[in-house]
Amino acid sequence: MYTFSKRLKITSLVLIIVGAIGWISSYNSSHHLSLEDVKLLLAEEDAHHGSSETHDSAEAHDDAKAHAAMIHASIEDDHHQEEAHHGDEHAEHVLHQMHNRPYAALYVAAFFFMMISLGVLAFYGIQYAAQAGWSPVLFRVMEAITYYLLPGALIVLGIGLWAGDHLFIWMDPEVVAHDELIQGKSGWLNKTWFAIRGLIFITGWSLYRYFSRKFSLAQDLADVNDNSNFKKNFRISAAFLVFYIYTESMMSWDWIMSVDPHWFSTLFGWYVFASMFVSGITVIALITIYLKAKGLMEFVNDSHLHDLAKFMFAISVFWTYLWFSQFMLIWYANIPEEVTYFITRIEDYKLPFFGMLILNFIFPFLVLMNSDYKRVPWFIVMAGIVILFGHYIDVFNMIMPATVGDRWFIGVPEISAVLFFLGLFLLVVFYALSKAPLLPKGNPFIKESEQFHY
């Protein structure tokens, strides 16, 4: 039995408070920005930018300039008149992006921790449906992590609805009125349907999690020969996995893909799934190692860690496969309506976009390839932290370009939001851990799992 240590409770509360303060202050400062401030800022940036550019490009573009001068001359008159108006429009655009930033930062962090929980729920369902013999000793850890799913998912949906057009431009009736593409999609993308769908997903996931936990605890108390609770769990897990794969896809269209309502990709749901699955498995490994280090899970041996690390390794590669498949198909065909998605990311997000490949693929690939290293706890922890950071960046790359564009930075709002949800996540998960014995002793596979060795 795990008791929620006071130190951890205080740590998570401090994280929540620090995160909340940081986020609210950045929210306030971004909301006090006016159009004039932004114009001033842009003028400053122009001054810096302009002076350096003339030096570099003066010679290189001489030829091109001479050629272009003739064409320019003819349109220059028109251009000048428009420039004043255009400047205003640009400043307004930038102002919107700066206003969006705290919302987007909050949303990315909220989604990241929610998806960990959802990924673990899928993993848990698979373990039951596959009647895995190695993993039952980890079930209580998984059940604790999925306890965060209900609050976490409601928060994500809540932020989505509250932030409205700060995240999803299709929620702005002004924009929709002038946008035929979004009008065409408004049968799916409208606020009412978005909320109802979200609630359906959350209800389905939470019902499974509720009953699965209930049957799992009931199995502990049941007679040795009575496996009826386990069988019930097996059945609802199989049903849940079917429900999950549909709703997870739709959730990823709703909650992530629709920030770019002009863009679509068919394997997007799988891609988001791979991201949440590997993050979830990583968190299972980290929490297990933590509890084992405290001497609370002696029944978990090296081989269990080895298997978790193998999953981390394999699903990292699977994520990369999907990332690359999506990227390469669009890059290769280069159809303008699809490729803008990657052009904005490569131009404005070069470091996070390609950096996450190192974090999510190359690092875990090389570190977790060796069989012996997969049994060393600090190796798994190190790889796990890198993987989790990489998948945070992954979500960041999915949301930010559509909301803040090139005005991104991982600064106060982003870090505060992560701290806030990290604190909340730890609080909820470790609270749930303290509610039941860590060894699900009634599980019919528990003996096999305890003696599991690879």
Partner 1 sequence: MGASKVIHALYTDDDVLMSAVKTVKAAKHHIEEVYTPFPVHGLDKAMGLAPTRIAIAAFMYGCVGLTVAITMMNFIMIEDWPQNIGGKPSFSYIENMPAFVPIMFELTVFFAAHLMVITFYLRSRMWPFKNAENPDPRTTDDHFLMEISVHDNEKQLKTLLTKTGAVEVHVIEKEAH
Segment interacting with partner 1, rule: CB under 8 A, options 209-217, 330-338, 391-399, 405-413: 330-338
* Position 334 contacts partner 1 (CB under 8 A): yes
Residue 331: CB minimum distance to partner 1, A: 5
Residues touching partner 1: how many (CB under 8 A)? 8
The answer to whether residues 244 and 125 touch, using CB atoms and an 8 Å cutoff, is: yes
Measured CA to CA, the distance from residue 244 to residue 272 in angstroms comes to 13
Residues 347-386 within binding reach of partner 1 (CB under 8 A) = 369, 371
Residue 320: CB minimum distance to partner 1, A: 11
Cβ proximity to partner 1, 27 vs 271, nearer residue: 271
Query: Nearest-CA neighbor of 322 among 284, 361, 295, 283?
Result: 361
Residue 328: CB minimum distance to partner 1, A: 4
* Position 327 contacts partner 1 (CB under 8 A): yes
Segment interacting with partner 1, rule: CB under 8 A, options 23-31, 70-78, 186-194, 327-335: 327-335
Cβ proximity to partner 1, 14 vs 369, nearer residue: 369
Cβ proximity to partner 1, 134 vs 147, nearer residue: 134
* Position 332 contacts partner 1 (CB under 8 A): yes
Cβ proximity to partner 1, 139 vs 452, nearer residue: 452
* Position 43 contacts partner 1 (CB under 8 A): no
* Position 331 contacts partner 1 (CB under 8 A): yes
Cβ proximity to partner 1, 88 vs 347, nearer residue: 347
Cβ proximity to partner 1, 230 vs 353, nearer residue: 353
* Position 264 contacts partner 1 (CB under 8 A): no
Residue 4: CB minimum distance to partner 1, A: 41
Segment interacting with partner 1, rule: CB under 8 A, options 185-193, 321-329, 343-351, 379-387: 321-329
Segment interacting with partner 1, rule: CB under 8 A, options 55-63, 132-140, 326-334, 398-406: 326-334
Segment interacting with partner 1, rule: CB under 8 A, options 239-247, 325-333, 345-353, 385-393: 325-333
Segment interacting with partner 1, rule: CB under 8 A, options 123-131, 155-163, 275-283, 320-328: 320-328
Residue 341: CB minimum distance to partner 1, A: 15
Query: Nearest-CA neighbor of 114 among 424, 360, 398, 393?
Result: 424
Measured CA to CA, the distance from residue 268 to residue 437 in angstroms comes to 38
Residue 393: CB minimum distance to partner 1, A: 20
Cβ proximity to partner 1, 48 vs 453, nearer residue: 453
Residue 380: CB minimum distance to partner 1, A: 19
* Position 318 contacts partner 1 (CB under 8 A): no
Report how far apart, in Å, the C-alpha atoms of 221 and of each of 69, 91, 309, 433, 442 are. Answer: 85, 65, 32, 18, 7
Residue 312: CB minimum distance to partner 1, A: 18
3-state secondary structure the chain: CCCCCHHHHHHHHHHHHHHHHHHHHHHHHHHCCCHHHHHHHHHHHHHHHHHHHHHHHHHHCHHHHHHHHHHHHHHHHHHHHHHHHHHHHHHHHHHHHHHHHHHHHHHHHHHHHHHHHHHHHHHHHHHHHCCCCCCHHHHHHHHHHHCCHHHHHHHHHHHHHHHHHHCCHHHCHHHHHCCHHHHHHCCCCCHHHHHHHHHHHHHHHHHHHHHHHHHHHHHHHCCCCCCHHHHHHHHHHHHHHHHHHHHHHHHHHHHCHHHCCCCCCCCHHHHHHHHHHHHHHHHHHHHHHHHHHCCCCCCCCHHHHHHHHHHHHHHHHHHHHHHHHHHHHHHHHCCHHHHHHHHHHHHHCHHHHHHHHHHHHHHHHHHCCCCCHHHCHHHHHHHHHHHHHHHHHHHHHHHHHHHCCCCCCCCHHHHHHHHHHHHHHHHHHHHHHCCCCCCCCCCCCHHHHHCCCC
Cβ proximity to partner 1, 211 vs 373, nearer residue: 373
* Position 324 contacts partner 1 (CB under 8 A): yes
- Count Cβ atoms below 10 Å from residue 333 Cβ, excluding itself: 9
Cβ proximity to partner 1, 193 vs 454, nearer residue: 454
Cβ proximity to partner 1, 162 vs 324, nearer residue: 324
Cβ proximity to partner 1, 10 vs 328, nearer residue: 328
Residue numbers at the binding site for partner 1 (CB under 8 A): 324, 327-328, 331-332, 334, 369, 371
